[in-house]
Structure 1
Amino acid sequence: MTTLTAPGTTATPTRRPSATRGLVRTVLLLHRPALYLWAGLFVALAALLLWLYGPGTDAAAAAWREYDRCTKATCAYDQDAILRYKSYSQYASIALAFLPFLVAAWAGASLIGREMETGTAQLAWTQSVSPARWLAVKLAVPAALVTVGTSVLVVLHRGMWVRGQGRIDNAKGWTDTFVFHANGPTTVALALSGLAVGALAGIRLRGSLSALVMSAVWTVGVRAALSLALPYLWPTVRTVTSLTHDGPTSLGITVHDGLLTSTGARLADPQCGSSHSSECSTLYHRLDAVSFYTDSHPQSHYWPLQLMATGLVLVLTALVLLVTFRLLKRDTGSAPLTKGAAL
């Protein structure tokens, strides 16, 4: 029996499921092992950082107070609490610093590289999904998870680190390379950079193993280049001290140091020491040196340096994404492929 539509009425159009929404579900289902691994890593690191923020810091701080009050040859204090805090906080900082390498390796090997290698990507392009939309969704889903998860871990790490400052004598300072990045948004930016590079490697090499290697090498290179460029991303503060000191005095991250002559010229530090030594005094007189100088970054420069470095990495990430999409468009065009073309 056929149902007729009454005259003057409009048939309700059939609502078709969104291709993008379906692709998001497909990405989550296809990469469930990576999602579970990321969730497990996030929970483990968050739990460790929360423990360090609370009982870990309190126990270590109490042990240090007992140690500092000690006036005898032998004193009772909780040395294990101090060592636990030192080890676990260092593990947490290193784990956060290496998250971008894990993201890059996974993006290159599994997210893009394997699908290009096995033909899964080409099959998806025949399902009314353009290659550009496919890549955009493939990157947007993990980018959101990585950004939110890494940001939370960075906030927890910074809270833990701040709470230990001034209370735990062997706590790492802000200039430590792992602490510096784990306390700020450069970790998030480096993770997103790793994701973008993994996508580029997967599209360009179309192989999981080769894309994994390229992604990891690129991320190592970016991290190394950032470490070299970091001290020059913000103007330094010059500190001038007397030659009676043992050497130049740094405020934090040292960029340049040495000797200043009476004409204002800069000389390398001969590593002699204080002018109280007659040998050093003679050397400084012969060099016409009048003081030590240091161009360095104090702790107040932490956020300017962090934001400049983060912006630099994000610009580089945007350029990598632009190249990736252009490369994909050159190879496939912008329209969805037909089944025959995919085969």
Structure 2
Amino acid sequence: MTAPVHHPASRSLGLPRMLLRLHRPALCIWVVLVLAVSALLLWLDGPLTDAAAEAWRQYHACGVTPRCSYNQAAILRYKDMENYSTFAVLAVPLVVAAWAGASLTGRELESGTATLAWTQGVSPARWLAVKLTVPAVAVAAGTGLLVLLHHLMWSASHGRIDTIKSWNDTPTFYANGPVLVALALVGLAAGALAGLAWRRSLAALATAVLAVSLVWAALYAVLPHLWPTVTSITGLDDGNGLAGDGITVGEGFLTSTGARHPMAVDCGPYAYDPECRTVYNKLHATGFYHEYHPISHYWPLQLTAAALVLAVAGALTVTAFRLLPARTR
């Protein structure tokens, strides 16, 4: 009687099944989380937006009429739910990083489960590749769905609800585009690397969350410089301050030589005040400049930032594979 033959292909297919079985509770929680936030965003996109838009229509119809009634509760409800949903979407990269650091690799190295898998005909490299690929698909799909629904909800409210955030509002900008999906993948890669480095769940969890936070902070600092800016110039006598709306990169006043300088303290971009006009005359100012990103730069900034963050995720992944041999000795 011959022993059954286990082909490499069957082992390759069995590893993802084993991974899904091992992390089934986390997968179920992830699905429930995505569905719950998606339901909230769909509720915002439909009934809540309609009710708040009607309340704002009533409010504007009141004019200066005293004791005019409008549905203030609908306006406040929409504002609260919009804030809750935005921050729920923004929390995804940190949640992914915490799970990946605590459970994906760190716990298995800590408990010895990974070593057992390596003795069953699964190479460490294949083990790590599956460990990263299967969750990456789930993370990218779930986060992408939330970002899409948030963007649709935000777009549906423009021109209808006065309290809707501008496109360049920082939380709205990140929750509305693919850069958040890239940050979630950074969380996954950072968690896997931290688990390999520390081989302890709690230490890897804290390290992964800190790593994502640092990447996010660095991205916030460099994002305005990822795409060429637009510059608008206004004269001292215009009286309207700076021209142009968007993500501000720089502002100040111009001199007769064309040199740029920071705004005068306590005056800002306004020269109609006699004291400020005297200050700007002494500085030989001829006008004000505003260097910024208009709304037309939204997608260039999103895509460039997402590509940069994906490069970071790739670097973390490569580092994890380079560290793996040291953990298999």
Partner of 2:311: 315
1:226 to 207, 215, 219: 219
2:72 to 54, 76, 79: 79
1:64 to 56, 61, 72: 56
Structure 2 residue 243 is the aligned partner of structure 1 residue 249: yes
Partner of 1:292: 288
Q: How does 1:1-343 map to 2 (within 5 A)?
A: 16=7, 18-71=10-63, 72-244=65-237, 245-270=239-264, 271-272=266-267, 274-332=270-328
Give 1:15 deviation, angstroms.
6.9
Measure, in 2, the Cα distance between the counterparts of 1:46 and 1:79: 25
Give 1:196 deviation, angstroms.
0.2
CA contact (8 A) 1:236 1:295 kept: yes
Secondary structure of 2:292's aligned partner: strand
Measure, in 1, the Cα distance between the counterparts of 2:291 and 2:281: 23
CA contact (8 A) 1:248 1:258 kept: no
Measure, in 1, the Cα distance between the counterparts of 2:107 and 2:34: 25
Measure, in 2, the Cα distance between the counterparts of 1:221 and 1:124: 33
Give 1:29 deviation, angstroms.
1.1
Secondary structure of 1:296's aligned partner: strand
Give 1:248 deviation, angstroms.
2.5
| Unpaired stretches in structure 1, ≥5 consecutive residues | 3-12, 334-343
RMSD across aligned positions (CA): 1.6
Measure, in 2, the Cα distance between the counterparts of 1:229 and 1:99: 22
Read off the aligned partner of 2:176 and give its amino acid letter: N
What's the CA shift string for 1:141-196, capped at 9, x where partnerless? 11100111111111111000000011100101111111101110011000000000
What's the CA shift string for 1:22-59, capped at 9, x where partnerless? 11111111111111110110110000000011111111
Question: TM-score normalized by structure 2?
Answer: 0.95
Measure, in 2, the Cα distance between the counterparts of 1:133 and 1:85: 47
Measure, in 2, the Cα distance between the counterparts of 1:307 and 1:63: 36
What's the CA shift string for 1:104-143, capped at 9, x where partnerless? 0100111111001000001000111000000111111111
CA contact (8 A) 2:106 2:194 kept: yes
Give 1:98 deviation, angstroms.
1.2
Measure, in 2, the Cα distance between the counterparts of 1:50 and 1:275: 47
Give 1:246 deviation, angstroms.
5.0
Measure, in 1, the Cα distance between the counterparts of 2:58 and 2:129: 56
Measure, in 2, the Cα distance between the counterparts of 1:98 and 1:224: 14
- Structure whose CA Rg is larger: 1
Measure, in 2, the Cα distance between the counterparts of 1:176 and 1:276: 29
Measure, in 2, the Cα distance between the counterparts of 1:80 and 1:312: 42
Partner of 1:10: none
Give 1:278 deviation, angstroms.
1.5
Measure, in 1, the Cα distance between the counterparts of 2:170 and 2:105: 31
Secondary structure of 1:18's aligned partner: helix
CA contact (8 A) 2:51 2:74 kept: yes
**Aligned-pair identity (%):** 54
Read off the aligned partner of 2:184 and give its amino acid letter: A
CA contact (8 A) 2:253 2:289 kept: yes
Higher deviation after alignment, 68-77 or 97-106: 68-77
